[in-house]
Amino acid sequence: MYWVFLLMGVAAEAVSHVVLKATDGFSKPGAIAVVLLGHLSAFLFLAYAMKGMPVGVVHALWAGMAIVGVNLLSILLYRQHLDFMTWLGMGFIVAGVVVVNLGQGHSH
């Protein structure tokens, strides 16, 4: 169940960061509300994930998966173009997430 909370936290964070662009410098109240609720939700979900997983592992997985999620959402919503080096870097992040997950220093 802790993984579900972690994934929900990642999703909330990624959506929040992508919508941040739509705030237009914090001048659009609807987008601002989505950003604030997204960040609040992300921290709530991460707090629950940390009840069953080590803080460092949760943070590393959250950060890595959020970077990938933000980039993928930006491609879909803003037609952002990513070059080869960006894709390569995200591949390394995904590999790092897999390695951390395979580590024996945490429980699921």
- pLDDT at position 103 is 74
- pLDDT at position 59 is 87
Residues of the chain with pLDDT under 70: 104-108
How far from 39 is each of 4, 7, 8, 107, CA to CA, in Å?
Answer: 17, 14, 11, 25
- pLDDT at position 104 is 55
How far from 96 is each of 7, 29, 48, 103, CA to CA, in Å?
Answer: 16, 37, 23, 11
Please give the distance of CA 19 from its chain centroid, rounded to a whole number.
13
- pLDDT at position 102 is 77
- pLDDT at position 5 is 97
Q: What is d(CA 97, CA 8) in angstroms, rounded to the nearest whole number? A: 16
- pLDDT at position 107 is 53
- Indicate the pTM of the whole model: 0.84
Q: What is d(CA 52, CA 90) in angstroms, rounded to the nearest whole number? A: 27
DSSP E strands, the chain:
none
- pLDDT at position 45 is 98
> Does residue 107 contact residue 52 with C-beta atoms inside 8 Å?
yes
C-beta neighbour count of 9 within 10 angstroms: 25
